[in-house]
Amino acid sequence: MADDKDVLRDVWFGRIPTCFLLNQDEVTEREAEPYYLLLPRVSYLTLVTDKVKKHFHKVIRTDDAEEMWFEYEGTPLKWHYPIGVLFDLHASNTVLPWSITVHFKNFPERDLLHCPSHSVIEAHFMSSIKEADALKHKSQVVNDMQKKDHKQLWMGLQNDKFDQFWAMNRKLMEYPTEDGGFRFIPFRIYQTLSDRPFIQKQFRPVSPEGHVHTLGDLLKEVYPVALPNEGSSIPTLPVCPLT
Amino acid sequence: MSLCVLDEDKFHLCCQLLLQLSEQLGDGWSWEGGQEGYLRKTALRSVVIDSSSVWDYEGEGADTSCPSRSEQQEGEQEQAAVDASADTDSIKGDMEDEDEDDGVCVASAGSSQLLQYEYHILHSCSYSTPVLYYRACTQEGRSLSLEEVWSSVHPNYRLRLQNSPLNTITLQAPPLLGQPFFMLHPCRTEEFMRPVLQAAQDQHRPVNYVLSWLSVVGPVVGLDVPLKYSTLLHPAAPPGSTEPG
């Protein structure tokens, strides 16, 4: 794990330059200026956009304003996906900065989950951490952690504190050396060209013969159309649930 | 413990059995989505919704997800009182003894509404258990909010749910459809299923994991599981038969 520290830091500090624009149909008291922000790939839209809301609330009629939601080229953006996943899924070919449209009306009930507070994001995040540990350690590590440890994980993410986060997360990333790896590797492959939003299956880190599995092995097993020699160029985004 | 592990094949088998019984009983379950599909049922329910009731469903802090073991110790006394068998009557019995005035819920009078419920039972490969998803909407097609769903849960279950690690209701997007559904969190399912499955094994009795699980979690969200399922599964042995009854 110590050797990977550079990789871990690069992943954590990944940013997407974004330009937030108010939806043209919103009634404003004066012209709405766009708002620019560097979004952390590992975080969630509703966690990092309080300033965006504050900025646009200055120009719209706030007594009408409902819950803020985001859209890119007509597609409502699911806040419960990590930001990096949203970008790779919907906008990977776009010229930067990524232009996101901000709405305060007509919340798309069928497409988006409501996010009335940060505690909802925390619950969702912790739920993902727990599900990942169910796959890695049959939930033993996460259940043996104290509530304050869980809180530290969350606070680390919320406040963008790499060391604070990883002080706890490293426990979730350990395994007994004799096992050679986790029970199963937590992963999800998100896709747009399908009814099913993502692929998630049980996948062992080591083959029965003792070979360490690679990303290519994973794709071959669960998403073979992604591999070059299958002749297809569908973009894929293997993403671990933040572990 | 492989006893409590419900892999995908076993899940399918249990569902097929449940579907057969459902057809005999006219209970309305169907299978959707093909190979990696799910059980589905819709139902109309007359429910008292009071969206203005002061209900802090989040409890302490923001943790609507399942508590960790250390948190569980705090609720252990209550937990001990919960008979984690599939016998919902015994669970209800415990709850009725509780002093409901201790709850944080201010149940004010609400009007009765006819709601359309849709239930999905999926298999979770992460937890190796079934998972219950559902959504509810009014006759006019308006979806219920999480607050309204909580206020429609029977008071007998509400206090238990809030403090118990048994299950929690959250708003999620299930893997197949991606649309917002309510979900009963599966992380404690193995815990309450273990005594059921162990007892069945000890008594050499066949048990349908999905059906037993459903009879525990279903009533919490207004899903009725008729007792007849059980009698169809274990018909009384006819006189003179050598089969165990």
When mean pLDDT is compared across A117-121, A129-133, A217-221, B159-163, the lowest value belongs to: B159-163
A44 CB neighbour count, 10 Å cutoff: 24
**Minimum distance, in Å, between the CA of residue B49 and any CA atom of chain A:** 19
Query: What pLDDT score does B162 carry?
Result: 61
Question: CATH classification of A12-103, choosing from 3.40.1080.10, 2.60.40.420, 3.40.47.10, 3.10.20.620?
Answer: 3.10.20.620
**Minimum distance, in Å, between the CA of residue B138 and any CA atom of chain A:** 14
Q: For residue B233, is pLDDT > 70?
A: no
When mean pLDDT is compared across A43-52, A108-117, B82-91, the lowest value belongs to: B82-91
Percent of chain B with pLDDT over 70: 60
Residues of chain A with CATH 1.10.246.190: 118-174
Query: What pLDDT score does B159 carry?
Result: 65
User: In angstroms, how far is CA B237 from the centroid of its own chain?
Assistant: 30
Copy the structure tokens of residue A58.
Answer: 């200055």
* Interhelix angle A147-158/A118-137, nearest 10 degrees: 120
Query: What pLDDT score does B89 carry?
Result: 38
Please tell me the distance from the alpha carbon of residue A158 to that of residue B56, in angstroms, as a whole number: 23
Q: Please tell me which residue, A132 or B90, carries the higher pLDDT value.
A: A132
CB-CB under 8 Å, B185 with A126: no
Please tell me the distance from the alpha carbon of residue A200 to that of residue A191, in angstroms, as a whole number: 11
Name the residue type at position A79: W
Percent of chain A with pLDDT over 70: 93
pLDDT in tens, A153-167: 999 999 999 999 999
Query: Of B118, B135, B122, B94, nearest to B189 (Cα)?
Result: B122
Question: CATH classification of A187-241, choosing from 3.40.50.300, 3.10.20.90, 3.40.190.10, 3.90.550.10?
Answer: 3.10.20.90
Q: Please tell me which residue, B159 or B73, carries the higher pLDDT value.
A: B159
Full-model pTM: 0.80
Interface test with A, best of B60, B126, B168 (most A CBs within 10 A): B126
All structural domains of chain B, each given as residue ranges with its CATH number in brackets, are: 8-51+112-233 (3.30.1460.50)
Tell me if B167 sits within 8 A of B220, measured CB to CB.
yes
Query: What pLDDT score does B107 carry?
Result: 46
Q: Spell out which residues of chain A touch residue B145, defining contact as CB-CB under 8 Å.
A: 114
> Where on the phi/psi map is residue B43: left (φ > 0), alpha (ψ -120 to 50), or beta?
beta
Q: Which superfamily does CATH assign the domain made up of A118-174 to?
A: Autophagy protein Apg5, helix rich domain (1.10.246.190)
Residues of chain A with CATH 3.10.20.620: 12-103
Q: Please tell me which residue, B156 or B133, carries the higher pLDDT value.
A: B133
CB-CB under 8 Å, B68 with A143: yes
> What's the distance, Cα to Cα, between the start and end of chain A in Å?
13
pLDDT in tens, A63-77: 888 999 999 999 999
pLDDT in tens, B137-168: 888 878 777 777 777 777 777 666 665 433 46
pLDDT in tens, B216-228: 889 888 888 998 8
pLDDT in tens, A19-49: 999 999 998 888 999 999 999 999 999 999 9
Residue whose structure tokens are 């013969």? A209
Residue whose structure tokens are 């279903």? B218
ipTM of the complex: 0.83
Residue A230: DSSP 8-state = G
Query: What pLDDT score does A217 carry?
Result: 93
pLDDT in tens, A173-191: 999 888 889 999 999 999 8
Tell me if B151 sits within 8 A of B55, measured CB to CB.
yes
**Minimum distance, in Å, between the CA of residue A159 and any CA atom of chain B:** 17
Which secondary-structure segment (H or E) carries A56?
A: helix A50-57
Tell me if A214 sits within 8 A of A160, measured CB to CB.
no
**Helix intervals (H) in B98-188:** 146-152, 155-163
Q: Is A85 on the interface with B (CB under 8 A)?
A: no
B204-220 average pLDDT score: 91
A9-20 average pLDDT score: 97
